[in-house]
Amino acid sequence: MWIWLWLEYGQDDSLALRIKNTDGEIKQYFVKPISLEEIFRVNKSLNKNKDALVSYKYTTKYNTGIIEINSFGGGFTEFRKFLESTFSQIKKDKVSNLIVDIRKNKGGNSGLGDILLDYLTNKKFRQFEEYKEKVSVQAGNLQKIQQNIPKAKAQIGSIVSNTVSFTQPKDNPLRFKGQKFVLTGRTTYS
- In this structure, what CATH number is given to the domain that contains residue 60? 3.90.226.10
- Residue 124 lies inside a defined structural domain of this protein: yes
Q: How far is CA 128 from the centre of its chain?
A: 12
Spatial strand order in the sheet of 179-183: 54-59, 64-69, 97-101, 179-183
Cα–Cα distance measured from residue 92 to residue 75, given in angstroms and rounded to the nearest whole number: 26
Position 166 scores a pLDDT of 96
Q: Considering its fold, how many domains does the chain have in total? A: 1
* Percentage of the chain modeled with pLDDT above 70: 73
Residue 12 has pLDDT above 70, yes or no: no
DSSP E strand stretches across the chain: 15-20, 26-31, 54-59, 64-69, 97-101, 130-134, 159-163, 179-183
Domain membership flag for residue 40: no
How far apart CA 83 and CA 71 sit, in angstroms, is 14
Average pLDDT, integer, range 57-72: 94
Give me the pLDDT at residue 108, please.
86
Q: How many residues does the chain have?
A: 190
What's the mean pLDDT when you consider all of the chain?
A: 82
User: H helices within 22-159, ranges in order?
Assistant: 36-46, 50-53, 76-92, 110-118, 142-148
Inside any domain, residue 64 = yes
The pLDDT of residue 147 is 58
Q: Does residue 189 form part of some domain? A: no
Residue 93 within a domain: yes
Contact 129, 123 (CB under 8 A): no
Kindly state whether residue 176 falls inside one of the protein's structural domains: yes
Question: Is residue 158 a part of any domain in this protein?
Answer: yes
- Tens of pLDDT, residue by residue over 120-170, are 999 999 988 998 877 766 655 555 555 555 544 567 777 878 889 999 999
Whether residue 15 is predicted with pLDDT greater than 80 in this model: the reply is: no
User: What pTM was computed for the model?
Assistant: 0.66
pLDDT band at 102 (very low <50, low <70, confident <90, very high): very high
User: Is the confidence at residue 36, as pLDDT, over 70?
Assistant: no
Please say if the pLDDT value at position 4 is more than 60: no
What gap in Å lies between CA 122 and CA 168, rounded to an integer? 7
Domain membership of residue 162 as a residue range: 50-183
